[in-house]
Amino acid sequence: MSEARETAPAPGEDAGADGAQTVRVDLGARSYDIRVGAGLMAGAGAAVKPFAGGRRVIVVSDETVGDLHLDMLAASLSAAGVGGEAVVMPPGEETKSFRALEGLMDRLFEIGVERRTLLIALGGGVIGDLAGFAAATALRGVDFVQIPTTLLAQVDSSVGGKTGINVAAGKNLVGAFHQPRLVLADVETLDTLPRRDFLAGYAEVVKYGAIDDRPFFEWLETNGAALIDGDQDLRREAVAHCCRAKARIVAQDEREGGVRALLNLGHTFGHALEGAVGYGDALLHGEAVAIGMALAFRLSARLGLCPAAQADRLIAHLDAVGLPTRPDQVPGADFEVDDLIRRMGADKKVKDGKLTFILARGIGESFITQEVEADALRAFMAEALAS
């Protein structure tokens, strides 16, 4: 990523005088900007105003983020002459449910949501996915803006328009593609994020290096610890770099017909682990992705696709920063091979009855495959759960 520092911004990106960067997601009529910077919340009202069209906005947040950041957003909206209401949901993955969606929808209609009302999702991936899905479906679709406040949401979930909720059969199985009109990623909001949640988001940062960007992975090996410890310039640089990567992929393949599936590195394993422990504090989504990436690289090495040293190197970095890389690191979990394989089979990445995996030939050389034999997978999982 030192490369990113030295390279002139690509078309559609610019570094403003305040050091904020703009990344364009090019999707024709659904194109939008991602603004990445420190202290953007103070100007959020002015940034959002053009999308509010003179009407009141509805901010959706969770209790934790609401307590920490809603006053600042409300003050900024009010300073820009934008009136609004807030709906505050309980925090946590359980809020990505039908029950919570129903509660949110009831509140939106009590407030008087209209076709031209703008929703603002202020929070992590849970609020972004839930409020985004509400925006996609209320009155058959209203506009929304993402103000992501976790590292995971800033580098991944707020960008690209995937919205949705979890159901008993699996994670994110009910949802819609609905692009936001604007994303404001204020890295200062990450100062209040607990270290465990920050680390979980860092797994998604590493994912970009592991997929197709070896120089970025090497940059993370050098700078990851300082970034995690709070260096704001490094955080801004990493978030902007990941947003550029995601914007490029989404612009090529908005609806995941092909290359976008690479962003699911670690997710076939990760979603199965998350489902098995019941979506909650025992295993955060980013932690599941970290274990899932480690398993994807180990499986790649086991199948002779990737040098074992490459898998070891990826896992060493995840270990070094304090992320879990093995299923037995999930507290209290008692995973079973059959259960995990059944859960993988319920994932939406299954195509013609075959599981889709993102495997790798090395760090930065990931690829999509449906060619993992059932017996090889079973033997690998048995070994992974025994270690």
Contact status: 212 vs ligand GLY (CB under 6 A)? no
* Binding partner of 145, given ligand GLY, ligand NAD, none, CB within 5-8 angstroms per partner class: none
Contact stretch for ligand NAD (CB under 6 A) within 155-163, 299-307, 325-333, 375-383: 155-163
Length of the chain: 387
Contact stretch for ligand NAD (CB under 6 A) within 60-68, 235-243, 337-345, 357-365: 60-68
Contact status: 61 vs ligand NAD (CB under 6 A)? no
Query: Of 333 and 350, which CB lies nearer to ligand GLY in the complex structure?
Result: 350
d(CA 150, CA 145): 15
The question of whether 246 is a catalytic residue gets the answer yes
d(CA 307, CA 143): 46
Applying CB under 6 A, among 160, 201, 275, 286 the residue interacting with ligand GLY is: 160
- Site map for ligand GLY, 238-277, x if CB under 6 A? ------------------x---x--xx-------------
Q: Which of 35, 246, 298, 349 is catalytic?
A: 246
Q: Which of 164, 85, 174 is nearest to 131 (CA)?
A: 164
Contact status: 256 vs ligand NAD (CB under 6 A)? no
Smallest gap from residue 256 Cβ to ligand GLY (A): 6
The question of whether 178 is a catalytic residue gets the answer no
| Cα of 158 vs its chain's centroid, Å | 7
* Binding partner of 260, given ligand NAD, ligand GLY, none, CB within 5-8 angstroms per partner class: ligand GLY
Q: How many residues bind to ligand GLY according to rule CB under 6 A?
A: 7
Query: Of 160 and 364, which CB lies nearer to ligand GLY in the complex structure?
Result: 160
Query: Of 35 and 301, which CB lies nearer to ligand NAD in the complex structure?
Result: 35
The question of whether 241 is a catalytic residue gets the answer no
Contact status: 192 vs ligand NAD (CB under 6 A)? yes
The question of whether 204 is a catalytic residue gets the answer yes
Pairing relationship of beta strands 13-15 and 57-62 according to DSSP bridges: unpaired
Contact status: 324 vs ligand NAD (CB under 6 A)? no
Applying CB under 6 A, among 15, 42, 46, 68 the residue interacting with ligand NAD is: 68
The first and second tokens of residue 198, run together, are: 């920050």
Pairing relationship of beta strands 366-369 and 162-167 according to DSSP bridges: unpaired
Contact stretch for ligand NAD (CB under 6 A) within 72-80, 117-125, 229-237, 378-386: 117-125
Q: Which of positions 194-223 make contact with ligand NAD (CB under 6 A)? A: 197, 200-201
Applying CB under 6 A, among 35, 96, 178, 349 the residue interacting with ligand NAD is: 96
**Cα radius of gyration (the chain):** 20
As a dihedral over the C-alpha atoms of residue 322, residue 325, residue 329, residue 333, rounded to 10 degrees, the angle is: 140
- Residue 266 · residue 298 · CB < 8 Å: no
The question of whether 256 is a catalytic residue gets the answer yes
Contact stretch for ligand NAD (CB under 6 A) within 51-59, 193-201, 341-349, 372-380: 193-201
- Residue 96 · residue 59 · CB < 8 Å: no
The question of whether 218 is a catalytic residue gets the answer no
Query: Of 163 and 300, which CB lies nearer to ligand NAD in the complex structure?
Result: 163
Q: Which of 172, 264, 343, 349 is catalytic?
A: 264
Pairing relationship of beta strands 182-186 and 366-369 according to DSSP bridges: unpaired
Q: Which residues are catalytic?
A: 140, 162, 204, 246, 256, 260, 264, 267, 271, 285
Residues that bind ligand NAD (CB under 6 A): 62, 64-65, 68, 91-93, 96, 123-127, 129, 149-150, 152-153, 156-157, 160, 162, 171-172, 189, 192-193, 197, 200-201, 285-286
Residues that bind ligand GLY (CB under 6 A): 156, 160, 162, 256, 260, 263-264
